[in-house]
Structure 1
Amino acid sequence: MAEGDSVPGRHLSLSSDEELDPDNIYRCRSHQHTHPIEYYCNDHKEMCCVKEAFDGHRPCKTTKIGELHQLEPELVDLPQAISRTERICFQSVTMKANEKLARENLNRQLQEKIQNIERLKKTIMEQLDAAKEDFQAVAARETKEGTLNKLDHMENISTFLDLSHSVSQGSDVTKKAIISLYLRDKAQEAKQNMFVNFEMEHTRQINMTVNRWLNRALTETTLLTFNSKPMPVSSVQFKLSVSILLRADGRWLNNEPLISGLDFISQQRILAVDNRNYKLILLNADLTIVNVHTFDRAPVDVVVIGNSAVVSIPGYQILEVFDITRDNRIVLKAHLPTISQYSSLCKFDDTSIIGCVLHDKNFIRKVTFCQHMTEIKENILRTPFPAKKFKISEMYCGYDQEINRLIVTDKQNAKVYIHDRSDDSLQTLIEKRKLVSPQGVAIGPFWNTYVCSEQTNSLLQFLPSGELLDVHPLNVKFPHVLRISDDRGKMLISNRRDGQRFLQVYDIVHWPDCISSNSETGKKAITNTGFHIIPLM
């Protein structure tokens, strides 16, 4: 590579002034903005000039910028890009204001705890001083009134011993007997009073009082905790836009459908896997069926990568890849035998997916697609999840590339496992009587985790910290499939109740007025509204 040429994927960074310069926006960063941008590298996902396309991206697949609106219209959809960027900016502003409030709250808690410690310190010292004075008073009284008098009495007994010696040398047997009996009684009395019989009961009470105060002080000091996390925020509303009752129609579907997998695809279309009728269903935005593909055995899940759809068929131990064309054709692209039986699927990146496999303790796999989605590489993804073998419909997975988090639901144990791959940590979410038979899972706005609780007919919303933020009742029985779009703008839900199976689309509405002014403090405050499900009118 000649001097001055750039390395693909390592473009020069722009300063703030350069980014705002319109001339620089349309010129190649790799060549100091001297060449106009004319090509887009599909492999490195970056724009470049003619020189860079031939020098740095020669082996890559490149497309002229002017032809992208015909070949990949979603990639250059400006209104969608503006909407997505506005949402990200809005989230950034919300989180920044939220973090400021969290810091102010932390400082306030800190000052309150310091004041509590000072008050506790003063109280303890007062108690210790009182205990010291009480102890000294008891000691003075006992030693003066009891023990010293008894010791003085011992001196009187010792003087009687002189008489005893003289009697013992005489011959009077009667006197000797009398003196012996007298000395025996006095010796017994002296033995009982030989040691200081100090009354300690009151002292023990003082010790108990002091220890109680000390234990309380240590306990309160140990339990001082400060919450520096942002306050729970979810400034969105979920508005039910379309809801259909799933029934056999005699044309596409012979039996009542059972949706086991859902995902979004370009042109506001939706893909659904019908496990009961062995179908891959393509629907438009109003949930009208536009095409179907029929399988030989029951499919379980679907995940979209670009304009291709990957379907898991664990009964045949295969993954099938389909191209979904703009004119709504479903074209089988590859029939890929697999080592494992894949059930739930989710997107990992532009060329890979994550799959949950059946009957294997190492149940997480990463599947990488090669050669234009016609070949695969399967690898065990090492996770801290408990080693357990799952059956079909006992687990669902979700992944978010931005925060690098992998989530798996465990239906039988009523748990949700969250693996933060950035630090290899594991969270286990358990909510008794609320999280019952967890099924579909997804990461939504503000990186909150949403889980379908099948037996409580609700959607649980968890903060990134793992704290339960809210429980949202659903108007369907036994919800089990959940998918949120990549732009966090829509949500799909389906259920498994016989005779009452629905497919529903929700619009995720971001409300700018969730950042409201607090009239009392004059500071910005975040309204913790959770989200509201607005019924379809």
Structure 2
Amino acid sequence: MASKRLVDSNRDNAGDFIGESAVTQSCEPCMKTNISKTATVFCKDCDEYLCDTCKNPHIVYKPGQHNIVNVQDNTSAPVIIDMKGMEKCHEHAREIEFFCQDHSKLCCLSCVLIHRKCDQLDEIVKVSRQSRPNLQPLKQSLIKLQSEADDIIAECKQSETGLNESIAKISSEVDTMKDRIIKLFEEAKQKLISVAKQFKTAEVKRIENKRDASFKVKDELNKLYSMCCVVLDRGTPSQQYIYSEQMKEKRKTIESTIDGQRKIKCSSTMTVSFPKQLTSLLEMGSNSIKLNYDGNKTVDTSPISLSSQPIPLTLKRLLSVDLLNTGDDEKDPFLTGLDFLSDGRLVAVDNRNKKCIILNERLERLGTPYKFKNSPQCVVCVSHDTLCVTFGGYKVVCLLSVSTDNTITLTKQINTTSKFDCICCMSPSNMVVSTYDDPRPMRMISVDGVESDFDHSLTFPKKTYKADESMCTYVQSKNTLVLTDQLAHTLYMYDTVNGTSRAVTNENIQEPRGACVGPGDTVLVCSKNKNSIVHLTIAGKILGTYPVDMKYPYSIRLSKDGTRMAVSNSAKGVQKLHLYKISPAKS
């Protein structure tokens, strides 16, 4: 038995694939001396392949009859297929000879020692003769998977082409509007193109990753398909059986990879949209241009001021709601995070009652609140229908989708390495977060869950904040990070491009809490102990202070069109939610 295994093993090493199905055979006596020569004849009596050099010694010195035929004329000799290592045990690198039915495992002689007590341990040579696997469906499934991989690659190419064409289209549309208000739209165009190119860069990277992964799958499928054809047509029963078992897990893995790549949706188009107030832009004093992709997703490029310098604001309170315990609440609500959807609906997260709620322009609840397992900290709208919620000490970030009928659905949960508190958008695919119990007070996280740190050139306060001691916002058009330090009564402004920073203190900034981007690339921050909102430039100049009729303002956010502002507070027992109309102050 041992000598037969040695011969079979040599033959396994003798065959190689050339192209898809051509097989060459090596001289077996030469292989025993580690010499590789192509066999030209086959001895039917000795069942041995020989080269021209070994043929005569074989006939003369080996006893018995020798029926010698040319290899190309021999149809009775078994064709040896290179199984590319699939006939070897991965654990012991020995030839597979058995199949354990109890564990559904292919086994070599070393494995048999482990499985010797199993009830059904079959010898593959015998069982493969009794029951041959049907490889035809496997072959068809490989063809189908190849087709799906081709579809994904074509989709990637189409998406990338569409993105390139969209950049040119955006430039043309902006130029058309530029004729009416040249100075404003030249600035808007540059800003919009910059955002579009940033989005394209990020999206092309996603497309390339998706395409590369699909190419790898296709390459593997090509190899497996080629082998499948050869094993199906010329493989021995044992080889077909082994190949069938080996392919079970491989096929599941490939199908899973194909399915995962198909679920990754890449944008293929971008368009530009102009607000309805465009005709009265000069009278309004500020407005915005928005970048759309995939039809209706929107990236806010932040308000554009007609004035070269930011100007003070006028706040008019539209609504005030007392946040009371309702029938479905366990505790008095505490709205720790606010943001507006692009259609004007207000999103809020209730920390105490573990909810996410949607409110209309009358601050009336829409739909059914989404109930979390843990207490949410903050929320940001990353697109027209997607929310991102942080959960602080639970080290979790959740992505939620919001439908037009106000149905909230969990789409993804991301485990993080830091405790994230406040969150805001930095780009279409990246967000800035404030942390606590972490020496890095601000970090970044992508919508795919990739965490990263800011460049070391940014000098953050050398302290580790506790929960609720710091919050953040990001002025996209000015590449400026803003960090509030409650106990130091300070706002820190960081220029992420130049690596510069400034600390802003003022008698009106006392225990600053939440902050958001204001009109004209300014900053609005809640001054807790002054019960007011402070308006300032990124250079630290105070533009105005606005008292609010609530104790301890906590969270603040502007609507996407820059016309409304929502503020919630943290005073226990007297918690409120205010909605303001915001406009430039009249001279």
Q: Partner residue of 1:418?
A: 493
Unpaired runs of at least 5, structure 2: 1-156, 181-195, 202-264, 289-302
Paired amino acid for 1:249: T
Going from structure 1 to structure 2, the CA distance change for 1:380 and 1:15 (only over 3 Å counts) comes to closer
Q: Is residue 534 of structure 2 the alignment partner of residue 456 of structure 1?
A: no
1:335 aligns with 2:413: yes
CA shift for structure 1 position 233: 2.7
User: Which amino acid is 2:267 matched to?
Assistant: K
Does 1:11 find its partner at 2:168?
A: yes
Partner of 1:302: 379
Q: Which piece of structure 1 moves more, 5-14 or 342-351?
A: 5-14
- State the distance in 2 between where 1:414 and 1:361 align: 19
Which whole-Å CA distance do the structure 2 matches of 1:83 and 1:295 have between them?
43
Supply the distance in 2 between the matched residues of 1:248 and 1:15 (Cα, whole angstroms): 50
Counterpart CA distance in 2 for 1:5 and 1:455 is 52
CA contact (8 A) 2:480 2:493 kept: yes
| Equivalent in the alignment of 2:336 | 260
CA deviation after TM superposition for structure 1 residue 330, in Å: 0.4
Task: Write the distance in 2 (CA, Å) between the matches of 1:444 and 1:338.
Answer: 29
Question: Which residue number in structure 2 is paired with residue 378 of structure 1?
Answer: 451
1:364 to 412, 419, 442: 442
SS of residue paired to 2:307: helix
Q: Which amino acid aligns with 1:342?
A: F
Q: Which residue of 2 aligns with 1:135?
A: none
Q: Which residue of 2 aligns with 1:173?
A: none
Q: Match for 1:408: what amino acid?
A: L
- Rounded Cα–Cα distance in structure 2 between residues aligned with 1:19 and 1:459: 35
Letter in 2 for 1:301: C
1:285 equivalent among 361, 364, 372: 361
Q: CA deviation at 1:63?
A: 6.4
Structure 1 residue identity aligned to 2:465: F
Give the 3 Å change call, closer, same or farther, for CA 11–457 of structure 1 in structure 2: same
Give the equivalent residue in structure 2 for 1:104: none
Question: Aligned partners of 1:458, 1:64: CA distance in 2, in Å?
Answer: 40
Aligned to 1:129: none
Give per-residue Cα distances to partners, 1:167-209, cap 9 Å, x unaligned.
xxxxxxxxxxxxxxxxxxxxxxxxxxxxxxxxxxxxxxxxxxx
- Summarize the Cα distance change of 1:410–1:83 in structure 2 as closer, same or farther, 3 Å threshold: farther
Counterpart CA distance in 2 for 1:273 and 1:490 is 19
Change (3 A) 1:430 1:289: same
Distance 1:17 1:484 in 2: 29
Specify whether residues 282 and 451 from structure 1 end up closer, same or farther in structure 2 by C-alpha distance, changes over 3 A only: same
- SS of the aligned residue for 2:417 comes to coil
Letter in 2 for 1:414: H
Alignment of 1:230-241 (within 5 A): 233-234=311-312, 236-241=313-318
CA deviations 1:268-306 (Å, max 9, x no partner) are 211111111111111122111122111122111111111
Partner Cα distance (2:514, 2:437) in 1: 19
Gaps of 5+ in 1: 23-39, 46-58, 66-74, 97-229, 370-374, 515-526, 528-537
Checking the alignment, whether the CA contact within 8 Å between 1:262 and 1:273 is kept in structure 2 is yes
Inter-partner Cα distance in structure 2 for 1:353 and 1:479: 24
Alignment of structure 1 residues 128-207 onto 2, 5 Å: none
How far apart, CA to CA, are the structure 1 residues paired with 2:390 and 2:281? Answer: 30
Look up the SS of the partner of 1:446 in the other structure: coil
- 2-side partners of 1:283 and 1:16: how far apart? 34
Q: 1:530: which partner in 2? A: none
CA distance in 2 between partners of 1:505 and 1:15 (Å): 35
Residue identity opposite 2:276 in structure 1: P
Equivalent of residue 474 in structure 1, options 531, 537, 548: 548
- Which of residues 229, 241, 244 in structure 1 aligns to 2:321? 244
Q: CA deviation at 1:60?
A: 5.3
Is 1:344 the counterpart of 2:422? The answer is yes
Quote the Cα distance in structure 2 between the aligned partners of 1:64 and 1:469. Answer: 36
Give the letter for the 2:397 counterpart. L
The 1:20/1:82 distance shift into structure 2, 3 A limit, reads closer
Bigger drift between 316-325 and 87-96 goes to 87-96
- Take 1:16 and 1:447, find their aligned partners in 2: how far apart are those partners? 21
1:314 to partner: Cα distance: 2.0
Shift of 1:93: 7.5
The one-letter code of the counterpart of 2:399 is V
- Once residues 404 and 281 of structure 2 are traced to their aligned partners in structure 1, the CA distance between those partners, rounded to angstroms, is 22
Q: Does the 8 Å contact 2:423/2:431 carry over to 1?
A: yes
- Residue number in structure 2 paired with 1:402: 477
Is 1:61 matched up with 2:267? yes
Distance across 2 between alignment mates of 1:242 and 1:427: 36
Task: Give 3-state SS (helix, strand or coil) of 2:168's partner.
Answer: coil
Q: Indicate conservation of the 8 Å contact 1:283/1:289, yes or no.
A: yes
Q: TM-score, normalised by structure 1?
A: 0.55
Contact 1:8 1:44 in 2 (8 A): no
* TM-score, structure 2 as length reference: 0.51
Higher Cα Rg, which structure: 1
Counterpart CA distance in 1 for 2:174 and 2:424 is 37
1:418-450: per-residue Cα shift (whole Å, max 9, x none)? Answer: 112232211101124x22111011221122222
Residue 341 and residue 80 in structure 1: after superposition, are their counterparts in 2 closer, same or farther (change >3 A)? farther
Amino acid at match of 1:294: K
Distance 1:255 1:16 in 2: 50
Change beyond 3 A, Cα 1:64–1:355: closer
Partner of 2:307: 95
Alpha carbons of structure 1 residues 449 and 43: separation in structure 2 relative to 1, 3 Å: closer
Higher RCO (CA 8 Å, separation ≥ 6 residues): 1
Counterpart for residue 197 of structure 1: none
The Cα shift of 1:323 comes to: 0.3
Whole-angstrom distance in 2 between the partners of 1:255 and 1:402 = 40
Q: Which residue of 2 aligns with 1:48?
A: none
- Measured after TM superposition, the shift of residue 61 of structure 1 is 3.4
- Once residues 474 and 358 of structure 1 are traced to their aligned partners in structure 2, the CA distance between those partners, rounded to angstroms, is 28
Deviations 1:325-348 (A, max 9, x none): 111000000011111111111111
Q: Could you list the per-position Cα deviations for residues 18-64 of structure 1 after superposition, in whole angstroms to 9, with x for gaps in the alignment?
A: 76899xxxxxxxxxxxxxxxxx999749xxxxxxxxxxxxx953469
Q: Distance in 1 between matches of 2:162 and 2:400?
A: 39
The two structures, once aligned, show a CA RMSD in angstroms of 3.5
Corresponding residue for residue 347 of structure 2:
271
Structure 1 contact 273–299 (Cα < 8 Å) conserved = yes
Report the Cα distance in structure 2 between the residues aligned to 1:440 and 1:398, rounded to whole angstroms. Answer: 8
The 2-side partners of 1:5 and 1:303 are apart by 28
Q: Match for residue 101 of structure 2?
A: none
The residue aligned with 1:37 is: none
Q: CA deviation at 1:17?
A: 8.6
Residues 504/89 of structure 1: CA separation in 2 closer, same or farther (3 Å cut):
closer
Residues 445-485 of structure 1: CA distance to partner in whole angstroms, max 9, x if unpaired?
A: 12222211111111122233212232222110011111123
For the residues of structure 1 that align with 2:360 and 2:304, how far apart are their CA atoms?
32
Task: Report how many aligned residue pairs link the two structures.
Answer: 330
* 8 A contact 2:396–2:414 mirrored in 1: yes
Deviation by residue 1:370-395 (Cα, 9 ceiling, x = unmatched): xxxxx311001233221221111111
Query: For 1:513-528, what aligned pairs fall within 5 Å after superposition?
Result: 514=586, 527=587
Structure-2 change in CA distance of 1:411 and 1:7 (3 Å): same
- Distance in structure 1 (CA, Å) of the matches to 2:304 and 2:434: 33
